[in-house]
Structure 1
Amino acid sequence: MALLAQDGGRIFCKGIAEAGGRRGVMHRHEAEVNRWLPSAIAPRLRWSVEVEDWLLLGFEHVPGRHADLAPGAPDLAKIVPVLGILGAELAACPVQAPLVAEQWARLAAWRRLAKDTPPDLDPWAREHLDELVAEEARAIELVAGDHRVHTDLHSLNILVGEDGARIVDWAWSRRGNPALDTAFLIPRLIAAGHHPDAAECWAEAVLAWRSTPAATRKAFAIAIWGIWQLLERDQSLPHRPALITAARGWALHRIHQHKIGNEQADQGCQPWLVKHD
């Protein structure tokens, strides 16, 4: 990655070697998708160049920093409008992309964990694997859709500046339910220090999430927990245990809300909605 100066302003350039491989496919996909993204939510792609086995993408430089997701951070209010645009304007992107539902069906995280259970799997999950597998199957149906979703939202892929927030790195964009990006952000907020209630309260400001049924919320929470749990089993990474803990906390919170008949869990959210929606 490099910041380049050229006529007309600065350019953020990212390049990958072995452009003929899988990473090249991903970044060509990002280049294709970019021209369909509203400029209010993503930096514009100015050029792309392939030289020998290198692929270079040059984006407009957007001043900003990675988003702060901690409780009380002012960045949280700036992210909500961007998610609103995602949910409202990305239903008609003609660029083909894999379906999230098909990917989740192939991954079948909880089903795999039930079949080949790690000895260190969370005790609650071990005792409730049948329930988790069933909810995962529902999530695969509920995540279906033709809406463009980012699928990899976290603080490093959200740039915040004086004029608001932008979303970068669309190489993993897929087609699915428009509520999915908010669902992926909720455990990120929990990992940043929010209680599940507070994270969901924040999410209520996003229309695509506010209109999402409680059963779908629960299924998404359980599916995301399973995906990260399986990925950690197959390829351990330093940041993943904290994410798994956060995803587990959200999933158990959703399950508890279902059991007590308080599935929407939106009590106390109105001040945030009035201020930021």
Structure 2
Amino acid sequence: MRQAVEQHTGPVSEVRSPDSGRNSELAVTLTTASGPVFCKGITTGSPLAAMHRNELTIGPHLPDELAPRLLWHVEADDWLILGFEHLDGHHADLSPGSTDLPAVADAVARIAAGEPPQTRPMAIQWHQALKKELGSPPPDNADPWSETNAELVVDWAARAPEHLDGDRLIHSDLNPANFLITGTAKVIDWAWWRTGAAWIDPAFLTVRLIAEGHRPDAAENWAQRFDAFAAAPPHAITSFAASLLRMWERRFATTPPTTAVRTWTRHRMSYYHALNTD
């Protein structure tokens, strides 16, 4: 495999592993005579190999101003390796007042303007992911609010897939680690890309803003800069928040993003309660 990679890079003099990352059995920066290259790879028999093939599919269609360039790939000896342009930068700070936020907003707008190479409907994937979840009781370690309001959350979450249809490119995993700030913001790790409504990525980012310290109303106000989010039906966003809560609470019960999406869901449902009361 090293010989196959060096056919693209030339001799490799040093290999360094990053401080963070997941879902790849190999993630390294190679030092070569022509400059550094970032490589990620997986054994082809791994259940996660499909994620790397997703990146292989979308990589050639992502503009240079949005994502690191996919330079080459090799598949040999039961490995799939992808070689990317190496960029020096830092992961995004999404906290209130961060100077990274304008660059992040520009990147999200560039995603919505992208042209997906094929249709991968998020609505279908979301329906399949929710099907089993909605028929199960809340997990044993669910938050007390989620247990008390389980029926209401399920009712809202069940409506989410019908609102996700669209033909826009969706990253679907926008979190601080998947933005690389290099003056502008580049978006990395496209393993979960889909096609759907253009408001979905701003909605994902709203959760991450809340997790980083924004109030729910402030996070929503920030996301209003995206026309698709501003124009989305309020009930569509509420159902999406509830569906995220339902799925994340079972898988990542105590993480800050799950706490954030619960906070957002409560905020959205309080809005509807006040509306119905009036």
How does the TM-score come out when normalised to structure 1?
0.83
Matched, 1:249 2:274: no
Aligned to 1:145: 166
Matched, 1:127 2:126: no
Taking the aligned partners of 2:240 and 2:66, their CA distance within structure 1 comes to 24
Taking the aligned partners of 2:273 and 2:212, their CA distance within structure 1 comes to 27
Candidates 61, 72, 89, aligned match of 1:64 = 89
Aligned to 2:125: 103
Candidates 87, 99, 107, aligned match of 2:112 = 87
Tell me the amino acid that sits aligned with residue 145 of structure 1: G
Taking the aligned partners of 1:124 and 1:199, their CA distance within structure 2 comes to 22
Moved runs in structure 1, 4+ residues, more than 6 A?
none
Tell me the amino acid that sits aligned with residue 107 of structure 2: V
Tell me the amino acid that sits aligned with residue 272 of structure 2: H
Taking the aligned partners of 1:192 and 1:185, their CA distance within structure 2 comes to 11
Q: In percent, how many aligned pairs have the same letter?
A: 38
Aligned to 1:32: 57
Candidates 216, 220, 228, aligned match of 1:200 = 220
Q: SS of the residue aligned with 1:22? A: coil
Residues 1:115 and 1:4: Cα distance change in structure 2 (over 3 Å): closer
Quote how far apart the aligned CAs of 1:248 are. 0.5
Q: SS of the residue aligned with 2:262? A: helix
Tell me the amino acid that sits aligned with residue 10 of structure 1: P
CA contact (8 A) 1:149 1:174 kept: yes
Tell me the amino acid that sits aligned with residue 67 of structure 2: A
Taking the aligned partners of 1:3 and 1:112, their CA distance within structure 2 comes to 39
Residues 1:245 and 1:96: Cα distance change in structure 2 (over 3 Å): same
Tell me the amino acid that sits aligned with residue 173 of structure 2: D
CA contact (8 A) 1:84 1:208 kept: no
Taking the aligned partners of 1:232 and 1:67, their CA distance within structure 2 comes to 22
Matched, 1:20 2:45: yes
Deviates more, 1:36-45 or 1:224-233: 224-233
Q: What does 1:144-163 correspond to in 2, within 5 Å?
A: 144-162=165-183
Taking the aligned partners of 2:89 and 2:220, their CA distance within structure 1 comes to 26
Quote how far apart the aligned CAs of 1:55 are. 1.5
Q: What does 1:49-60 correspond to in 2, within 5 Å?
A: 49-60=74-85
Aligned to 1:260: 274
Taking the aligned partners of 2:59 and 2:256, their CA distance within structure 1 comes to 31
Tell me the amino acid that sits aligned with residue 78 of structure 1: A
Taking the aligned partners of 2:84 and 2:138, their CA distance within structure 1 comes to 44
Deviations 1:194-222 (A, max 9, x none): 11112112111222212222111211111
Tell me the amino acid that sits aligned with residue 219 of structure 2: A
Taking the aligned partners of 2:46 and 2:164, their CA distance within structure 1 comes to 28
Quote how far apart the aligned CAs of 1:96 are. 4.6
Matched, 1:176 2:196: yes
Taking the aligned partners of 1:46 and 1:24, their CA distance within structure 2 comes to 19
Taking the aligned partners of 2:223 and 2:89, their CA distance within structure 1 comes to 23
Deviations 1:45-66 (A, max 9, x none): 0100122022111111122111
Quote how far apart the aligned CAs of 1:106 are. 1.9
Taking the aligned partners of 2:52 and 2:77, their CA distance within structure 1 comes to 16
Taking the aligned partners of 1:89 and 1:55, their CA distance within structure 2 comes to 26
Deviations 1:149-171 (A, max 9, x none): 11111111110112x10100111
Q: Which has the higher contact order (CA 8 A, sep 6+)?
A: 1
Taking the aligned partners of 1:112 and 1:19, their CA distance within structure 2 comes to 29
Quote how far apart the aligned CAs of 1:30 are. 0.4
Aligned to 1:236: none
CA contact (8 A) 1:87 1:207 kept: no
Tell me the amino acid that sits aligned with residue 211 of structure 2: A
